[in-house]
Chains A and B, each alone.
Chain A
């Protein structure tokens, strides 16, 4: 047993909470975060006074100075440590990892990890932003960066629109069956192919939703969860991270992601391999991000997504159910916490589309234009 594997199962997600997803006009991110944290505390059956750390992912559309401290004040908390962290959608797992490290080094005992944003009813300007000096060429928006990667994947591997459609159709089928999803419309291949292309080669349904909402988790040691009488703690079996360049021209390749790196640490900590995984929640801000993550995790041979996923491989009745609550394409465009929450529900056996006898759930988070990546593997509750 090495130091990494000693972390397997030592920490748990003790509680989960979230607001409604979709359009929540008039709600501030402080209000959404507070509601999500309150729900997470209720779910963990612990008091606010048990929490001594507050880790916040910075609201993407409205960054604020000392945001973490403002949120703590709004919730009447005086945490020993905390603050807001700017790392895109992989920040959720980075914050869980920070919480584990802080507990391990005696800096705190119980941490709240949370995120809220309101780009749907507020400003979505951040997603159409100029990309540095390259804006002189008309280089704007988050989506365009993924479009460049999507095209390169087609060039290198011959990936077809129909292949990307398979990915979107799986997430959308599961979202359509989720009463709480923002978009409850299943997607047909014909609808995918005929949808408008704002930035080619991306089609409308390659792109995730834009959503208001908040979500939160409680992180503590498995030992502390027993002491506090937490009813449904879900163990973290593995967690890993990786990062690459901020802008795309600097990257050596566009068609490999840091999922390779983050998965190596997460699999090593958990003692598991890709073939051992029962259910997955894959960050699908854009279909190409999800496809490449599945390749880099070793689930799917590189460049073979189309033939590999054919016949519902990733659907609820297939061998590797993915995004069982709809993912970013269907449940909510929120950057990533909803995937962890669905992983927790699967491991508690209470998911809307429950995967029977699932022993573990692998979750990916990533941020920016695949700048940052994180992987987490959860184990079954009370096993």
Chain B
């Protein structure tokens, strides 16, 4: 079986991946309270380098998604048809992810809950429909 693609873990993004590995999704927040993903050395709004990593509460909403009926990388062959989704965390930042639900049950704006899933050497932030 083909290996899944790995993220390019850099000095900038290592805290993000380390946190996931420990079971937390984090985003960055600067001293002006701008929040962002993906990891950067400077705030993309005010270019401040004074920031901290904040643990996400884990709640999010589904913005949009696609369903791959054929895989463009052999590692995903067994998962077809699989979804890739854009979600917005309740704290603001948006990210790409997978929704752990049948593709036919996905609905725009649906409430989601973080679920950390191991894939090869890395833990990934995925989401499942929230049961609230």
Does A135 belong to the interface (CB within 8 Å)?
Answer: yes
A93 to chain B, nearest CB (A): 27
Q: Which of B38, B68, B108, B119 contacts A155 (CB 8 A)?
A: B108
A-contacting residues, B90-111, CB 8 Å = 93-98, 103, 108
Report how far A199 CA is from B71 CA in the complex, Å.
Answer: 9
User: B64–A250 contact, CB under 8 A?
Assistant: no
User: B73–A135 contact, CB under 8 A?
Assistant: yes
- The interface centre, meaning the residue of B64, B93, B124 with most chain A CB atoms within 10 A of its CB, is B64
Q: Which of B6, B69, B72, B82 contacts A128 (CB 8 A)?
A: B72
User: B86–A144 contact, CB under 8 A?
Assistant: no
Does A147 belong to the interface (CB within 8 Å)?
Answer: yes
List of A residues within 8 angstroms of B44 by Cβ? 250
List of B residues within 8 angstroms of A149 by Cβ? 64
Does B79 belong to the interface (CB within 8 Å)?
Answer: yes
Does B53 belong to the interface (CB within 8 Å)?
Answer: no
Nearest chain A residue, comparing its CB with the CB of B119? A136
B109 to chain A, nearest CB (A): 8
List of A residues within 8 angstroms of B97 by Cβ? 137
User: B7–A138 contact, CB under 8 A?
Assistant: no
List of B residues within 8 angstroms of A148 by Cβ? 64-66, 86
Report how far A196 CA is from B97 CA in the complex, Å.
Answer: 25
Report how far A135 CA is from B7 CA in the complex, Å.
Answer: 8
Does A198 belong to the interface (CB within 8 Å)?
Answer: yes
User: A197–B122 contact, CB under 8 A?
Assistant: no
User: B84–A137 contact, CB under 8 A?
Assistant: yes
Contact with B along A191-231 (1 / 0, CB 8 A): 00000111111100000000000000000000000000000
Does B130 belong to the interface (CB within 8 Å)?
Answer: no
Given contacts A130-B5, A133-B38, contact A250 B67 (CB under 8 A): no
List of A residues within 8 angstroms of B69 by Cβ? 196-200
List of A residues within 8 angstroms of B70 by Cβ? 198
Nearest chain B residue, comparing its CB with the CB of A196? B69
User: B37–A249 contact, CB under 8 A?
Assistant: yes
Provide the main secondary structure of the chain A interface: helix
Does A139 belong to the interface (CB within 8 Å)?
Answer: yes
Does B4 belong to the interface (CB within 8 Å)?
Answer: yes
List of B residues within 8 angstroms of A135 by Cβ? 5, 73
B31 to chain A, nearest CB (A): 21
Nearest chain B residue, comparing its CB with the CB of A248? B86
Nearest chain A residue, comparing its CB with the CB of B88? A249
Nearest chain B residue, comparing its CB with the CB of A156? B108
List of A residues within 8 angstroms of B103 by Cβ? 200
B80 to chain A, nearest CB (A): 9
Does B51 belong to the interface (CB within 8 Å)?
Answer: no
Report how far A152 CA is from B124 CA in the complex, Å.
Answer: 24
Does B48 belong to the interface (CB within 8 Å)?
Answer: no
Given contacts A148-B65, A149-B64, A199-B69, contact A138 B82 (CB under 8 A): yes
B-contacting residues, A239-257, CB 8 Å = 248-250, 254
B112 to chain A, nearest CB (A): 14
User: B66–A134 contact, CB under 8 A?
Assistant: no
User: A200–B7 contact, CB under 8 A?
Assistant: no
Does B13 belong to the interface (CB within 8 Å)?
Answer: yes
Q: Which of B13, B63, B108 contacts A133 (CB 8 A)?
A: B13
B47 to chain A, nearest CB (A): 15
Report how far A196 CA is from B70 CA in the complex, Å.
Answer: 11
Does A140 belong to the interface (CB within 8 Å)?
Answer: yes
User: B71–A137 contact, CB under 8 A?
Assistant: no
Does A98 belong to the interface (CB within 8 Å)?
Answer: no
Nearest chain A residue, comparing its CB with the CB of B103? A200
Does B8 belong to the interface (CB within 8 Å)?
Answer: yes
Counting from the closest, the 3 A-B pairs by CB-CB distance are: A147-B66, A140-B72, A133-B7
Q: Using CB atoms and an 8 Å cutoff, list the residues of chain A in contact with chain B.
A: 128, 130-141, 144, 147-149, 151-152, 155, 196-202, 248-250, 254
Q: Using CB atoms and an 8 Å cutoff, list the residues of chain B in contact with chain A.
A: 4-8, 13, 36-38, 44, 63-73, 76, 79, 81-82, 84, 86, 93-98, 103, 108, 119, 122, 124, 126
- Chosen A-B contacts, 24 in total, with CB atoms closer than 8 Å, are A128-B72, A130-B73, A133-B8, A134-B84, A134-B96, A135-B5, A136-B119, A137-B84, A138-B71, A138-B84, A138-B98, A140-B72, A144-B66, A144-B68, A148-B66, A152-B63, A198-B68, A199-B69, A202-B66, A248-B86, A248-B96, A249-B37, A249-B93, A249-B94
